[in-house]
């Protein structure tokens, strides 16, 4: 598998990259001929579609709406964040003022920031809570930029991936004083870990390798830094119910 790639770049904050690298080093010990390093410079969408992807992390919405059925789901990390349990979590809805989502919805001038239209924790969770797509949407390209948009006044409200919300509190702590948590998105499965079709036979080994990394006491600090408390084996069927979120989202 020397041509295989591994990409875990969904949370690429500089202050936790070393922890991701440590986690991968432990996982690869359990695998035969796995990549020596994570591919940090690879475009995420290119990684998801690559036939050489041994291990990658994607978003639940592209998984069920864009990625082919041949992409195999390995499972999900169990996030160590509020309102998370057994591999599910809820997005964090932040606002510029401590008003409820209903109050923001009643205002004609409310601007909602989202990282991307195909983001489960950003757009899809927000549309579900809002009851459809808001009239005024600011596409930011990243959860971190959605947080900055609300903090700066460029937007009033945003739905943020719960792990990103925690990591951004460390990376840019001054944002916290300008943001208010006013709600949460629906419970959804955490980010799916996936593998290309050519590695389908390796799924049991991949799951065992990730589980071993979760049990390794030497990685306790790395797991804590990454907001990971465990691993839950899942397949694609765990994500298919996402399509039942608010009809306008799909």
The full DSSP string for 166-227 is HHHHHHSGGGGGG-EEEEE---EEPPEEEE-GGGGGGHHHHHHHHHHHHH-GGGHHHHHHTT
Structure-token pair, residue 168: 């951004």
Q: Where in the chain is the domain with CATH 3.40.190.150?
A: 5-80+189-249
pLDDT of residue 111: 98
pLDDT at res. 176: 80
pLDDT for 247: 54
Classify 91-186 by CATH class.
alpha beta
Mean pLDDT by 10 residues, the chain (250 residues): 86 95 96 92 91 96 91 97 94 96 96 95 95 95 96 97 96 90 96 96 97 97 97 96 71
Instruction: Return residue ranges of the chain for CATH 3.40.190.10.
Output: 91-186
Quick check: 11 and 43 in contact, CB under 8 A?
Answer: no
| Predicted local distance difference test score (pLDDT) of residue 250 | 43
Strand positions, DSSP E, the chain = 5-7, 53-57, 72-79, 88-89, 92-95, 112-114, 137-139, 157-160, 180-184, 188-189, 192-195, 228-233
Please give the pLDDT value at position 249: 46
Tokens 């809820």, residue located: 90
pLDDT of residue 218: 97
Rg for the chain (alpha carbons), in Å? 18
Closest CA to 50 of 247, 225, 230, 195: 195
Class of domain 5-80+189-249: alpha beta
């Amino acid at each position: 598998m020397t041509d295989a790639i591994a990409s875990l770049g969904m949370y690429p904050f500089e202050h936790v990259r070393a922890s991701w690298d440590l986690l991968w080093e432990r996982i690869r010990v359990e695998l035969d001929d796995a990549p020596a390093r994570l591919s940090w410079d690879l475009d995420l969408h290119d990684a998801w579609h690559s036939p050489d992807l041994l291990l990658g992390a994607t978003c639940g919405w592209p998984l069920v709406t864009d990625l082919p059925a041949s992409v195999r789901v390995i499972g999900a990390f169990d996030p160590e964040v509020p309102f998370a349990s057994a591999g599910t979590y809820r997005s964090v809805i932040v606002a510029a003022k401590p008003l409820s989502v209903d109050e923001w919805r009643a205002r004609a001038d409310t601007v909602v920031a989202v990282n991307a239209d195909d983001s489960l924790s950003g757009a899809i969770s927000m549309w579900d809570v809002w009851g459809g797509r808001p009239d005024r949407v600011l596409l930011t390209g990243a959860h971190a930029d959605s947080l900055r948009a609300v903090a700066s006044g460029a937007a009033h409200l945003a739905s943020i991936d719960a792990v990103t919300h925690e990591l951004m509190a460390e990376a840019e702590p001054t944002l916290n004083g300008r943001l208010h948590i006013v709600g949460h998105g629906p419970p959804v499965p955490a980010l799916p870990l996936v593998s290309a079709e050519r590695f389908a036979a390796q799924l049991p080994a991949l799951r065992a390798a990730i589980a071993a990394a979760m049990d390794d006491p030497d990685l306790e600090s790395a797991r804590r830094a990454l907001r990971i408390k465990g691993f839950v084996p899942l397949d694609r069927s765990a994500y298919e119910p996402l399509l039942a979120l608010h009809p306008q989202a799909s």
